[in-house]
Structure 1
Amino acid sequence: MNRVQDLIAYKKGFELAMDIFQLSKSFPREEQYSLTDQIRRSSRSVCANLSEAYSKRRYPKHFISKLTDCDGENGETRTWLEFALACAYITKDIYNTLYDKSIEISKLLNYMILNPEKFGSKG
């Protein structure tokens, strides 16, 4: 595995970010510079931080720190999804689907955090 794009966490994070991008196109115009911008940024940051972590994986502390940032951005995305649901911009079914995808990403990231050596991090 030589590319970050080959990681399951990256693939699932990218998919969630694209799902959110498509969905957020239907958010009200007045949300363009608030909720829409924030949820797009946080969901995209998961993959961006994962790319940075993967490029620094030979340094375990840096690798784990960046993976923790990924998980934080993922958690932020779940918070924005809650706001989208509360504002009735998305249905409960869509919320549940996206929330579940986010939880799965968290589990994958936490596996990486707990097992950095399996991803090329030097102990």
Structure 2
Amino acid sequence: MRSFTDLEAWKKSRALRNNIYTLVKSFPNEEKYRLTDQIVRSSRSIGNNIAEGHGRFHYADEAKFMLNARGSAAETIDHLIIALDLGFIDKITFDKFDAECNECMRLINGYINYLRTQKTNH
């Protein structure tokens, strides 16, 4: 694989990040430096960690960043739960974004498993 942009996990995280940007435009202005900032940061962090990990030399280093990416996806879900609880999004919207985050985590888990196999084989 030549670039992190070839990874399906990164592609999915990019789509999620872009969808989050659109979503938070509807959040109240008073949340700009609170929930809005937090959810944007956590959704950015998914792809950022995938990219940074891909640039690492060793499989174990890359896997650690993939674990961080997975954690950021889970953090994004938690921020979405807060948005749901505060009435900024409805259940249908939450379910859509929750599914996107879980798809990111599924792809990241698959890549982590691949990296662990590569580590074992080398």
TM-score normalised by length of structure 1: 0.92
What does residue 26 of structure 1 align with? Answer: 26
Letter of the aligned partner of 1:23 in structure 2? L
How far apart are the structure 2 equivalents of 1:96 and 1:12? 16
1:114 is displaced (CA, Å) by: 1.2
What does residue 86 of structure 1 align with? Answer: 85
Runs of 4+ in 1 over 2 A off after TM superposition: 117-123
SS at match of 2:34: helix
- What is the number of equivalent residue pairs in this alignment? 122
1:92 is displaced (CA, Å) by: 0.8
Q: Structure 1 122/98 Cα, relative in aligned 2: closer, same or farther at 3 Å? A: same
How far apart are the structure 1 equivalents of 2:9 and 2:3? 12
How far apart are the structure 1 equivalents of 2:43 and 2:101? 9
Q: Is the contact between residue 38 and residue 79 of structure 2 (CA under 8 Å) also seen in structure 1?
A: yes
What does residue 42 of structure 1 align with? Answer: 42
How far apart are the structure 1 equivalents of 2:15 and 2:104? 11
Specify every segment of 5 or more residues in structure 2 that has no aligned partner in the other structure, as ranges: none
The farther-off stretch of 36-45 and 111-120 is 111-120
Sequence identity (%): 33
How far apart are the structure 2 equivalents of 1:37 and 1:77? 11
How far apart are the structure 2 equivalents of 1:9 and 1:109? 6
What does residue 14 of structure 1 align with? Answer: 14
Q: Is the contact between residue 63 and residue 112 of structure 2 (CA under 8 Å) also seen in structure 1?
A: yes
Specify every segment of 5 or more residues in structure 1 that has no aligned partner in the other structure, as ranges: none
TM-score normalised by length of structure 2: 0.93
**C-alpha RMSD over aligned residues:** 1.9
